[in-house]
């Protein structure tokens, strides 16, 4: 499977292959399909948790902006708070292969990163194709061709992603365009991340992508998780929805990913996201300060 691709399709590989295969594909195309991302039992548990959380939820958003309603998807269901809603989500958040990719793309620009958002993305039949966009444009002032990598994302197929049900579209190589305001033309290839359940599309925040059109008779179930540099504000206010009781026994690095630890900015010791200028749980009196803490100064 190493480096397999056909035509304008994205490279398909797995984390059993050498790590440089994934990095080379991301450098070339901006996105790569990873097969067997999750074990079958974890996928089954995650699928059950998401279906339970989706019960009774509406499609679309109540946002007043028509542009945001279209971008969100009037026939798309989204919800977050996944660390609280699914114990199986931890296997996604802490996936060694995914974190290795995030380390490679983000740590050259910051000494820590945190979860940007984790959300279910469920496309109902009749959902039109989403506008092609770059995730890093959330921080448009610093998202530029000569700037740092800001965010890295993973779209996990909870059920099979097909051309008919709206598999994510990617414009390979668009992360390397000299101008990010360039609009894709007819000559620019667009690939679809067609992949079986349990697979994942990993892509950079600089590549153009968007959900496909769901022309099938069934919902397309997907899960998105992304990470962002520690000196940028995430999309999701995670610690406001994920209680300390849920993460207090987790390792420091998991707590930090979920916003319950300060983020380090540089090797010189700068920190952001503090309370009383202490690490978050220390400032709140939830844990004592430790001299050997990763965040101790």
Average pLDDT over residues 268-281: 88
Give the mean pLDDT of 64-88. 93
CA atoms within 13 A on the CB side of 238: 29
Residues 6+ apart with CB under 8 A from 176: 30, 145
pLDDT at residue 269 above 80? no
Q: How far apart are CA 163 and CA 211, in angstroms?
A: 11
Mean pLDDT of the chain: 92
Q: Which residues lie closer than 8 Å to 2 by C-beta, 6 or more apart?
A: 13, 17, 18, 21
Cα-based angle 201, 134, 131 (whole degrees, multiple of 5)? 90
Domains and CATH numbers, the chain: 12-236 (2.60.120.620)
Give the pLDDT confidence score for residue 222 in this predicted structure.
98
Q: Average pLDDT in the 245-250 region?
A: 97
The CA distance from 98 to 37, in Å, is: 9
**H/E element, 51:** helix 40-54
Q: Does residue 193 contact residue 82 with C-beta atoms inside 8 Å?
A: no
Residue 3 has pLDDT above 90, yes or no: no
Q: Are strands 31-35 and 12-14 parallel, antiparallel or unpaired?
A: parallel
Which residues have C-beta within 8 Å of that of residue 135, sequence separation ≥ 6? 151, 153, 205, 209, 226
> What percent of the chain has pLDDT above 70?
93
Tell me the sheet residues that pair with 152: 204, 227
DSSP string, 241-264: HS-HHHHTTS-HHHHHHTTSS-EE
Model confidence band, residue 296 (pLDDT cutoffs 50, 70, 90): very low
pLDDT in tens, 172-231: 999 999 999 999 998 999 999 999 999 999 999 999 999 999 999 999 999 999 999 999
- The residue that leads in pLDDT, 20 or 158, is 158
With cut-offs at 50, 70 and 90, classify the pLDDT of residue 45.
very high
- Tell me which residue of 261, 237, 157 sits closest to 201, measured CA to CA: 157
pLDDT at 289: 78
Exposed / middle / buried, residue 18 (Cβ in 10 Å: 0-12, 13-18, 19+): exposed
Task: Name the pLDDT band for 7 (thresholds 50, 70, 90).
Answer: very low
Q: What is the pTM of this model?
A: 0.93
């Amino acid at each position: 499977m190493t480096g397999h691709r056909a035509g304008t399709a994205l490279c398909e590989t797995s984390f059993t292959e050498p790590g440089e295969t994934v990095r080379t594909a991301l450098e070339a195309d901006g996105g790569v399909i990873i097969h067997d991302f999750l074990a079958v039992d974890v996928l089954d548990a995650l699928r059950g948790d998401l279906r339970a959380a989706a019960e009774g939820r509406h499609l679309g958003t109540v946002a007043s902006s028509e542009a945001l309603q279209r971008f969100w998807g009037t026939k798309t269901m989204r919800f977050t708070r996944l660390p609280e809603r699914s114990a199986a989500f931890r296997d996604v958040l802490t996936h060694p292969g995914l974190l290795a990719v995030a380390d490679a793309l983000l740590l050259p620009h910051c000494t820590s990163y945190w979860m940007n958002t984790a959300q279910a993305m469920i496309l109902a039949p009749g959902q039109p194709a989403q506008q092609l966009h770059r995730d890093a444009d959330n921080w448009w002032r610093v998202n530029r061709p000569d700037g740092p990598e800001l965010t890295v994302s993973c779209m996990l197929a909870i059920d099979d992603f097909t051309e008919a049900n709206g598999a994510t579209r990617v414009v390979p190589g668009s992360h390397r365009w000299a101008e990010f305001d360039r609009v894709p033309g007819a000559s620019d290839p667009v690939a679809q991340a067609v992949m079986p359940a349990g697979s994942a599309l990993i892509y950079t925040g600089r590549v153009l992508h968007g959900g496909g059109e769901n022309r099938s008779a069934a919902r397309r179930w997907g899960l998105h998780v992304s990470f962002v540099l520690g000196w940028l504000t995430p999309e999701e206010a995670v610690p406001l929805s994920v209680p300390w009781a849920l993460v207090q026994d987790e390792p420091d690095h998991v707590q930090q990913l979920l916003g319950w630890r300060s983020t380090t900015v540089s090797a010189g010791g700068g920190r952001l996201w503090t309370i009383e200028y202490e690490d978050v749980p220390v400032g709140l009196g939830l844990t004592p300060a430790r001299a050997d803490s990763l965040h101790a100064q």
